Structure formats: C-alpha cells, structure tokens
Amino acid sequence: MNIQELNEHFQHHYGDSAEALRAFYAPGRVNLLGDHTDYNGGLVLPSAIDYGTTLLVRRRSDKVVKLASRNFNLVAFLSAGELQQKYADHWINYPLGVIDQFRQRGIDIAGLDLLYSGDIPNGAGLSSSASVEVVTAFAINSLFELGLDALTLVQMAQAAENDFVGVNCGIMDQYASAMGQVGHVMKLDCGSLACEQVPVELGDFSFLIVNSNQRRELTESKYNERFSESRAALDVLQQSESVETLAQATLEQLQTHQEALGDMLYRRARHVVSEHNAVKKAAELLRNNDLVQFGALMDQSHVSMRDDYETSTSVLDALVDISRRQMGVLGARLTGAGFGGCVVVLIESAELPEFQKFVAQEYKDSTGLSADFYPVSLADGARELSA
C-alpha cells in the first residue's frame, strides 16, 4: 500500500487537522545464522529486509493516543491514564510498550494519532513486532524532537518487548530493524553491541523466505522456557568457569561439565556455543564470497536448532528437507525463534520459479499447509518517509 492510499485511510480514521502528518518506516529482518544466541550474549548475523511497517503519525492537542492498523481490526482510543495498561494478545501492546518506555524516562508523550500498515507476515518469525516497536520509537523521537540516538531507541524498543509484552528477546531484532544497510548483513555481538556491516555479493543467487504458515506466538511457545534453560546452563558453568555469558563458553568447557549440566542443558549450551562460532566463520565466508560453504553452515545450523535447542517442528523440518532437495539450493534453515514461522533458503536465482512450484506442491502434500514465498533483498533500516 503506497503512502497516498495510507493518507486516505488516515483521514478516514482521524479526519483533518492543522498538525503536520508524517510518515516513518522500519523493516523486518531475516536472521541468516545465530538464532537464540542474542539473549545469551553471542554473535548473530541478521539483515533488514524489504518488508516492514509504515507508520503515519500526527500530534494531537489533547492527551489522547489513538491507534489503528490496516492489518488488524482493533482501534484504540486511550487517555493518558490508560497508556500503561496491557491488552491481552493485541498488537497495540507493542506501541504501548514503547510509549511506556518514554514515560519511564520522564518524557511526557502528548496526544497522537497513529496508523500502522505492514507487509511482514504476522507471527512468521520475521520480526513484525520489532518493526512496530522500532518505527514507533523513531517516530516519537523525531516528532517530539527528543534527540535520542538510534542505539538508545533500539534499547527502548527491546525493553518494551521484554518488560511490557513479556517476551525475553535479545536485542537482535530491534537492532537489525533500526541499523540495517542495503546489501549488507550485520555481524552483531549482542554482548558488547559491537557491530560490523558485512557486504554480501550474491551474484546469481538469492535469499528466499518461505513461510510455513505454522503460526507461532512467542509468549505462548517455549521461547521463554529456552531462555530459562540457557540461564540454568550458564549457572552451572559459572560455578567453576569465568564466563559472563553462555556464548563465551567453549565446546571444551561444555564437555568438561557435561555430567553436571545433564543431557538437556548440555545440548542447549552446545547449540548456543556452536551458533556463536558459526557466525564468526560465516562472516569470513561472505567476505570471501564463498556461498557454497555458507550454505553448508545454514544446513548445520538447522540441525542444531532441531536436535540441540529443539525449536524446530515436524512441519519446519519437512519444509527444510523439501527445500534442500530442489535444484540450485545451497542451504536452508529455519529463521527466527522457531516453533513455527519461516525458513530461509539460499538458492540460484534462475531456479526460483521451479523451486516455488515444486516446493508448494510437495509441502502441501506432506503437511496439508500452504507455503508462501518471499524473495528478499538486504535493505536499509528505520527512516522517515515523505508523507
């Protein structure tokens, strides 16, 4: 939907005003390697993608905040006293959590009219929630001329999801949405927040996102359970090892303490450490344009997510297996938190039409579900648009 159409919908919802109407955009993200390492202080390899959330916003003369979305039916008119109230399973918790973060910093957010519109598949693991949080934070910062830097806004968006929504996510999703650079992936250290933008030359290849349409809800899934398990593994290691985060451990240290960890915590920790190490290797492979070995790392990562961290599902496994059998595919893995959502595939561009044809049929025959296909480009992060 273009800005002109959104303008028309905005006028339908909110009417005319002398206040200026402004437009902001924040993309979703695809994570190529390093899932579940972010909240363990490890390395991740995400990129912003060319799907995201557009926000039209206008200041009001009163203290009422009005929220509407082109993607959901719920429209909310909230007074100042209602802005800290959480709503069960509603998208408005994401912008409300961000507004709450500003208020916790003593910043009084006056009235706003907000209209959101996104093209990220909801609940698919491409960070539609982070996109909403980031675009809200960037818009409020600009609209009220607060002068907060981008990293502070990213941290506020993450805190909104942790503290208000109730998902113990790391900073990767919000960081990727805010800081993306076209044609690059981010080698992001989620412990130190050091970030290297790694250029990617895909040549005759493309990244393709395949939505399994097995929907997930992170607060209802085992995401927070995995968070707790990784913390438990770290507690065991810290009894005798000088590690501040699980990602700092070595595979040798894990083997030394395998009995103390027990089978389940050992496998959880092994995934985190292996993924952290894989991102280091993957960044070098991309710098050297070695897509074949990069694809092999994608395959290995999916096995680790499936067997050690147990965040895949039989549906996702089927989709990955079917994808790998097709011509021109260098690698395939689930992307994001898992428990449903999407698979990312590295594939020869010329094979995309045949891939989509055969995968759609085989996946439907195997699972009864219909897959959706999203060729993606590595895109820029959050920004203001011309309204």
Catalytic residues: 173
Q: In this structure, how many other beta carbons lie within 10 angstroms of the beta carbon of residue 250?
A: 12
373 three-state secondary structure: strand
Q: In this structure, how many other beta carbons lie within 10 angstroms of the beta carbon of residue 3?
A: 17
Distance CA 217, CA 79 (A): 28
226, 36 contact by CB (below 8 A): yes
Q: Which residues are bridge partners to 346 per DSSP? A: 207, 331
Strand boundaries in the chain, DSSP class E: 22-31, 43-44, 46-59, 65-69, 76-78, 112-118, 184-189, 195-199, 205-211, 329-335, 342-348, 372-376, 383-385
R_g (Cα) of the chain, nearest Å: 21
Looking at the chain, how many residues does it have? 387
170 three-state secondary structure: coil
Which residues are CB-contacts of 373 (< 8 A; sequence separation ≥ 6)?
208, 209, 210, 211, 356, 359, 360
Q: In this structure, how many other beta carbons lie within 10 angstroms of the beta carbon of residue 86?
A: 13
CA distances from 177 to 127, 171, 369 (A): 8, 10, 29
- HSE, CB side, 13 Å, CA atoms: give it for residue 312: 22
Task: Please give the span between the terminal C-alpha atoms of the chain, in angstroms, as a whole number.
Answer: 13
Distance CA 177, CA 154 (A): 9
Distance CA 107, CA 31 (A): 33
Burial (CB < 10 A; 0-12, 13-18, 19+), residue 181, is middle
